Amino acid sequence: MKALLIYLRNYKKETVLAPLFKLLEASFELLVPLVMAAVIDNGIANNDKPYVVRMCLIMVALGIIGLVCSITAQYFSAKAATGFATELRKSLFSHIQNFSYTKMDTIGTSTLITRMTSDVNQVQSGVNLVLRLFLRSPFIVVGAMVMAFTVDVRGALVFVVTIPLLSVVVFGIMLITMPLYKKVQADLDKVLLITRENLVGARVIRAFNKERSEERHFEKSNQELTDAQKYVGKLSGLMNPLTYIIVNGGLIVLIYVGALRVDAGILTQGEVVALINYMSQILVELVKLANLIITVTKAIACGNRIQSVFEEETGIPKGDAIACVMGADGGDETFIEFDHVSMRYKGAGADSLSDISFCVKRGQTVGIIGGTGSGKSSVVNLIPRFYDVSAGQVRVAGKDVKDYQISELRSSIGVVPQKSVLFKGTVAENLRWGREDASEAELWEAVETAQAKEFVEGKEEGLAFKVSQDGKNLSGGQRQRLAIARALVRRPEILILDDSASALDFATDAKLRAAIRQIKGNPTVFIVSQRASSIMYADQILVLEDGEAAGLGTHAELLRDCPVYQEIYYSQFPEEEEGLRKGAQ
């Protein structure tokens, strides 16, 4: 939590002025009982009305000055807290953006969302209250005790007993509840995870009639969160009644002692009233302090959770600042090479890829095919370093991808993932994710190559058509074509199409592949697909089975020599297998 305080560096003035004005307010507040005592002992006792009026005007002045100081302190503390939260959220988001796929998989999206929202808000509330009350409340408590000693030493001994008892209660409850609040936030992560899964997978849940099952699952996690909140709430709720009991007990003793000393002529009535007022001030401030402790306890627990995210390494060591891929030499030399590559996902029991080796020349088209879970996506994810190899090397332009700066490497690669994700905004804004300075002509060129021109032109707004969140107002095929166009806008040297045409019909898929072959710059293309028709015209085809290379070659070579490829191809083109049988007979 302490490490997060660096985000207050731009608000040093506010962090000093906020508690300072609160201390000024508290100082004026401590003078009020003395003025009241003077009114009773001098004004009322002597029936001196002008004196009473003067003292009352002084009390009003003290109240107004205190109010101004309080409002000023509130302003500075709110400004510092909101600025702190803004800086923290920005830094946290930036740090999360640098996480590798492995790190994101390990931590979990729902947990990161909770850290970015609920946890940051809790820390913001904690900072706000600390700046306002952390110095003020203890100052009032200690100041009231000191002022009580100036009034009467024996009467003030009640304060000496009361305040330590209150401290034991407040800090004892704080130490007990702090780890419990951390557990509450962890339970909140679970609820958020279930909620997110249900919102994303709403169609699947309804398709399989699992609404009641998911409701029960949510109710169970929600009840666990509720029970945890109730338990820690009950413990925190003990703070106010316990402090009231102790303080009110102190008041009873104080009134009793004060009455005896007034009767003995040692104290005046005004001084007893002043002592009672100081005890009342302590009561009010300790109630505030109790609430502060609860909020700070939550803030510390949440701050530690946020800090744990900052302490996580991004998972991708940055390479040196060497020349980017676009500057690599052309020719017939090997451009991309997989050298005995193996890869294992974190926490997996076995390798997802084992001993994969192949070479690709500049401008070639490589098809990757295999059954579900054979490791097709894993292979192409190693090129832009979405994941790192566990053994072997992936080389681009003769250099290990680990030697490139991540930004330089990925700026030369266009990736179209399996799931086409579009963002809320216009079609043009989505396409310019590929290259911010792309002209409208370049956008239309990419749209035409991706076979999306017809439906984009069919929209009244054209490139200005508003895409809803995640592209929900477009069909699956339209989303895929826009995602392909977005990658093409970048004019990448390496283009990766990870099963990105699965929602397209065969005719559109064929047109798309033909258009990609005509792209300026002749990029090296990787096409991942389960359709043999999508990769059969590739310069070379990698066939995968259970993470291992089952074959590598052209369509004709694999159809002749690779049983795995034969099985895939003939399952999709049974008429050719039938014709082959008849020809053999």
Query: Count H helices, E strands: the chain?
Result: 22, 12
What are the structural domains, with CATH classification, of the chain?
2-310 (1.20.1560.10), 329-584 (3.40.50.300)
Distance CA 247, CA 166 (A): 8
pLDDT of res. 1: 66
Rounded to the nearest 10 degrees, the angle between the axes of helix 153-200 and helix 211-237 is 170
**Amino acid letter, 281:** Q
Distance CA 558, CA 386 (A): 29
pLDDT of res. 26: 86
Number of neighbours of residue 12 by Cβ within 10 angstroms: 10
pLDDT of res. 323: 47
pLDDT of res. 477: 87
Averages of pLDDT over runs of 10 residues in the chain (585 residues) are: 84 90 87 84 82 88 90 93 93 88 81 87 90 83 81 78 81 80 83 85 88 92 92 84 83 82 81 82 76 81 87 72 49 82 86 92 92 89 90 92 87 88 91 90 91 88 89 87 91 90 83 86 90 89 92 91 90 72 57
> The tokens of 40 are what?
């009773």
pLDDT of res. 582: 60
Distance CA 197, CA 190 (A): 11
- Record the pTM: 0.72
